[in-house]
Amino acid sequence: MNIAVVGAQWGDEGKGKLIDILSQDSDITVRYQGGNNAGHTVVVGEEEYIFHLLPSAILHNDKVCVIANGVVIDPQALICEIEELEKRNIKVTPRRLKISGHAHVVMPYHRILDRLRESKRKNKIGTTGRGIGPCYADKVTRCGIRTIDLLNFRILKSKLEDNVKEKNEIFYKVYGHHDFSFGDILKEYLRYGKKIGQYICDTALYLNEASNKRKSILFEGAQGTFLDIDFGTYPFVTSSNSIVGGVCSGSGIPPMKIDKVIAVVKAYTTRVGEGPFPTEFTTSLGEEIRTKGNEFGATTGRPRRCGWFDSVLVRYAVIINGASELAIMKLDVLDDLEKIKICTAYRYKGKIYRDFPLDFEVISEAKPMYEEMQGWQIPTHGIRRYNKLPVNARRYIERLESLLKVKVKYISIGSERDELIIR
């Protein structure tokens, strides 16, 4: 079976843990969009692993991991990630890691442009400054450099000459930034090509052949639905399609080969960076949840904004992703609360919105309408069966099922790999 796992909020939903568990029963795990602006954290015993580009299934020795064409790759970051794993005795061989030759490459000028552009903006986007957006922009304007180009001196030299000439003029005239050295970048990226060349192949062909042989494939989403470039809270979004539709364009797998979509949410809501957030806490509860849930970005370390569960938001994500199952993560973070709220609609200028609004002003200014439920105030750590959860915890989950019109299959009650209830 081929399964896609997508975030149904603003990213950081806990997809890494679920993917780590599901990948045990999958032959291949595929990352299909985003770059090293995303992060998955996986806890195994006393060890914590943070992944930015590599699928977390790399922790399983008998699994194949694919970084597909929809990903933009910073080769320096990727090499560091591979080397860090190998220091911890996890071998990353060409049999276990395959990188699409069509994946675009993050260049030094992409990272610099990302930061310079953000510094000039009156309304900050909240970019990680990793160069992801500018790299995707070059891809769309057809001047990007792909991983396969790092293995061909003539192609890389030709593309880079054009790019550096253009970028230097723009950077100097618009930002007053010094020139980039063509020779230094060429040497640096040829070195990267030698290091990652052994992994580069036609991953679309590989994945379709594997699917035809009945191999099971797990597609690992980065970020979340409301950071999607088309369906997110634009412009406070990422630069790729993080919804399930991105699987096909980002990996070369046709839609009919995706058998199941699992949407992942937290039992509450978080968001990193700028942008609208209707259910954001305005009291000290935000700091309490942030501390208990360790809500700090795996990639940047930035504190995450926290708020109540937003069923308007998540229901829209369930619809556009075609999710057939839901995973609720970090239920245990709510264990101590006497009362818990669920947003069931928005109100703006006297109008009630039960569907997620298109108008940015409405999303930004609307007031959430809440349904209040009794908390359970009983620790859920150590529970492994659904019927052993506190009654009010089950009522909360079942109310979410009713509002979202999708079954909750997985419930996480801690950060450890085995702290998961499967219904």
12 tagged catalytic: yes
Place of tokens 């079942």: 398
**CA angle, residues 107, 109, 112, in degrees to nearest 5:** 120
**H helices within 347-416, ranges in order?**
360-365, 391-404
The span from the CA of 362 to the CA of 367, in Å, is: 9
Question: Burial of 107 by CB count in 10 Å (0-12 exposed, 13-18 middle, 19+ buried)?
Answer: buried
The closest of 53, 135, 58 to 95, measured between CA atoms, is: 58
The C-alpha atoms of residue 369 and residue 351 are separated, in whole angstroms, by 12
Q: Is 130 helix (H, G, I), strand (E, B) or coil?
A: coil
Tokens representing 23? Answer: 């990948």
Q: For residue 130, which phi and psi values (nearest 5 degrees)?
A: -90, 0
CA-closest candidate to residue 11, choices 129, 104, 128:
128
Residue pointed to by tokens 């993080």:
242
The full DSSP string for 347-361 is EETTEEESS--S-HH
Q: Which of 20, 25, 27, 40 is catalytic?
A: 40
Cβ-proximal residues to 140 (8 Å cutoff; 6+ apart), any chain: none
Question: Is 178 annotated in the active site?
Answer: no
Is residue 203 within 8 A of residue 98, CB to CB? The reply is yes
Which residue has 């190998």 as its token pair?
Answer: 86
Per DSSP (E only), the strands in 152-251 are 200-201, 217-220
- Which residues have C-beta within 8 Å of that of residue 17, sequence separation ≥ 6? 41, 42, 43, 329, 412, 415, 417, 420
325 vs 398: CA distance, rounded Å: 13
Q: Which amino acid is at 336?
A: D
Q: Which residues are catalytic?
A: 12, 40
